[in-house]
């Protein structure tokens, strides 16, 4: 428990030193939260995450389904 409390205190200290969200630029947000911000160098950081989620994959499956029925 003490270890978690220390971790929470460290996180609160970090958050207390941050620029307020309403004053942040996208670059500031990326520096503060790289795991949550859009990374222009890694376009796969947001949807679609997998091939199955892409529009091309769904269209391919639809064509295959139509071909099977004809």
The pLDDT of residue 49 is: 62
Which residues make Cβ contacts (< 8 Å) with residue 36, sequence separation at least 6? 29
pLDDT at 15 over 60: yes
pTM over 0.95: no
Grade residue 4 by pLDDT with cuts at 50, 70 and 90.
Answer: very high
∠64-55-38 over CA atoms, to 5°?
Answer: 155
Q: How far apart are alpha carbons 42 and 35 in whole angstroms?
A: 11
């Amino acid at each position: 428990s003490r270890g978690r409390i220390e971790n929470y205190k460290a996180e609160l200290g970090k958050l207390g030193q941050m620029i307020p969200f309403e004053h942040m630029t996208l670059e500031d947000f990326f520096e503060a939260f790289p795991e949550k911000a859009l990374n222009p160098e890694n376009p796969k950081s947001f949807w679609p995450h997998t091939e199955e989620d892409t529009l091309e994959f769904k269209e391919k499956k639809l064509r295959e389904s139509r071909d099977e029925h004809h």
